[in-house]
A and B are shown apart, each in its own frame.
Chain A
Amino acid sequence: MQGLTFDIAHLLAGTLVLVSFIELYQDRLTALINVYAAHAIVLTLSVAWQALAQHAPHLYITATIALVFKAAVIPLALRRIVIRLGIHREIETVVGVGPAMLIGIGLVALSMVVMLRVTAEADPLAREDLAFALSVVLLGLLMMVTRRNAVSQVIGFMSLENGLVLAATGAKGMPLVVEISVAFSVLIAFIVIGIFLFRIRERFDTVDIQALDRFRGERR
């Protein structure tokens, strides 16, 4: 039974990494938002499974928050924004898909090496969860770095945050307060950025942040 518990937790965390890769691969905004919703659903499942495995009912609340906000509310809102802005087919990457994926693979390898060496004596369940969580965080950062469009940077930031939640639930005895605060901070960040987007739109008529650079005279 222990084996199966481990395997499923492992599978879900691995799927989260995989979905992060799909986010990197996607270059259309609406599809990207859908993938982000999938990311959140996998996170929900993973957290719920941890709740079951660790007999920690408070984690169910975290799972519910993830499901409601991250998998439903935020993607729907983002989709509205994208449609309102009329940028749903925008293709906007700094590096090509191939190199970004290669860098991603390298980052996963890096986080494996780091985590597995540092946490050699830890509980295996927490250990592999941490390795995956670090990968998800790094992939989220990578996405923020390699995308020009503000909306996809927001998505990168939120999947980074999903990685943090995964790490938090993997470690036993994490208090719930932190969960809620993390979730709310993201929501607030999202609102702020959402408003910010509209302001950019009004001012410069684009959400490509390269336009900001141009405005400041940094490029060209």
Chain B
Amino acid sequence: MALIHDLIFQGGQMLLVLGLAPLLTGFVRKVKARLLRRQGPPLLQPYRDLIRLMRKDVVLAESASWLFRIIPYVVFAGTWVAASLVPTFRSGLLFSWTADLIAIIALLGSARFFLALAGLDVGTAFGGIGSSREMMIASLAEPAMLMIVFAIALIAGSTQLSTMAAFMNSPEVGVRVSLGLGLVALIIVAIAENARVPVDNPATHLELTMVHEAMVLEYSGRHLALIELSSFLKLLLYVSLIACLFMPWGIAPAGVEPVLLIVGIAAYVGKLALSGLLLAAFETAIAKMRVFRVPEFLGAALMLALLATLLRFVSRSF
């Protein structure tokens, strides 16, 4: 019986992240537009865009190979699986032990690896510039992310997300400077990974400064829809990750108590909305960086994470 419940909740989480991801992006876009005193597209616009793209024909470049056609599915599947392994509204996911935090990050790394290959496949200058810069950003963001995981895992004594969330929810955490540094670094990495301002601009096209959009320039139709959906999912994943590690309040424990579940879902939606608001406000307030300022920005994240790991040793328990 418990197994069936767990199975239902795991499936529910997969559908939930898939359903909520476009909404989060739509919400961020809406808030940004309102902050700029524009009307902005409706909240549900991302869904409409996805459906429209899915129905359209794929226009494939003549020099594209079989790999180019498979990659959208690989990227989508990798991101979706990673996103459904991060606890959102209820801990104790059935398959949470399939991949710990390191493996989830590596899964996202796989998705990026293939996406960068897709950028090179058609053999255009734009695709190449996107791939090359994406890998440069990744070469700093990934170690920074792993160091953040180290810092938090050394404190929580685990890389298993459910255990980490449970630890963060317990009173023994206290206020730790390592965690603060880790949070700042994690936010920087999340901004870079999701190609947000100031690292990249998700709204631009036809600009030499773009990274992610340049890489997927040759995609169209259902392939583009999947790539877009993956990037929505990735944003949701990072927000859920930050929420699960640094705002673990309200996550329902493993069980079927309806009240707790409702509280859990409400808390999750609330956290998403809050993060979306903050992200939009931040993006509105700041300007995009030159590409070669980005390494310094991400280098700072790497340093912060290293510092967090070091400072962990002067905390109470040791």
Contacts and interface: CB of A to CB of B under 8 A. Distances in A.
Physical interaction between A and B: yes
B180 A6 contact: no
A160 to B, nearest CB: 19
Given A17-B311, A18-B307, A10 B177 contact: yes
Chain A residues touching B, majority SS: helix
B181 interface: yes
Interface in A28-48: none
A143 B208 CA distance: 36
B299 interface: yes
Contacts of A77: none
Nearest to A13: B177
A21 interface: yes
B296 A10 contact: no
Contacts of B181: 14, 18
Given A14-B180, A25-B300, A105 B314 contact: no
B175 A4 contact: yes
Interface string B284-318: 00000000000110011001101100110111100
Contacts of B258: none
A116 B307 CA distance: 16
A110 to B, nearest CB: 10
Contact of A15 (B177, B304, B306, B310): B177
Given A3-B174, A4-B175, A105 B316 contact: no
A99 B196 CA distance: 27
A131 interface: yes
A105 B313 contact: no
Contacts of B178: 14
Contacts of B69: none
A191 to B, nearest CB: 34
A7 to B, nearest CB: 4
Interface in A5-27: 6-8, 10-11, 13-15, 17-18, 21, 25
Given A10-B314, A112-B314, A17 B307 contact: yes
Interface in A97-147: 97-98, 101-102, 104-105, 108-109, 112, 116, 124, 127-128, 131-132
B176 interface: yes
A101 B299 contact: yes
A7 B316 contact: yes
Interface in B178-221: 178, 180-181
A98 B295 CA distance: 9
B307 A105 contact: yes
B142 to A, nearest CB: 17
Contact of A97 (B175, B296, B310, B315): B296
B303 A21 contact: yes
Contact of B296 (A4, A98, A102, A105): A98
Interface residues of B, number: 21
Chain B residues touching A, majority SS: helix
Given A105-B310, A116-B313, A11 B303 contact: no
A6 B316 contact: yes
Contact of B316 (A3, A104, A112, A131): A3
B175 A105 contact: no
Contact of B306 (A4, A10, A105): A105
Contacts of A4: 174-175
A108 B314 contact: no
Nearest to B295: A98
Contact of A7 (B175, B300, B313): B175
A6 B300 CA distance: 27
A108 B176 CA distance: 17
B141 to A, nearest CB: 15
Contacts of B300: 25, 101
A109 B310 contact: yes
A13 B178 CA distance: 12
A4 B175 CA distance: 7
Nearest to B303: A101
Nearest to B184: A18
B307 A128 contact: no
Given A4-B175, A10-B177, A25-B300, A108 B307 contact: yes
A101 B315 CA distance: 23
12 contacts: A10-B315, A13-B177, A14-B177, A18-B307, A25-B300, A98-B299, A104-B303, A105-B303, A108-B307, A109-B310, A128-B314, A131-B314
Given A105-B306, A108-B307, 6 more contacts: A11-B177, A17-B307, A18-B181, A18-B304, A97-B299, A108-B310
Interface of B: 174-178, 180-181, 295-296, 299-300, 303-304, 306-307, 310-311, 313-316
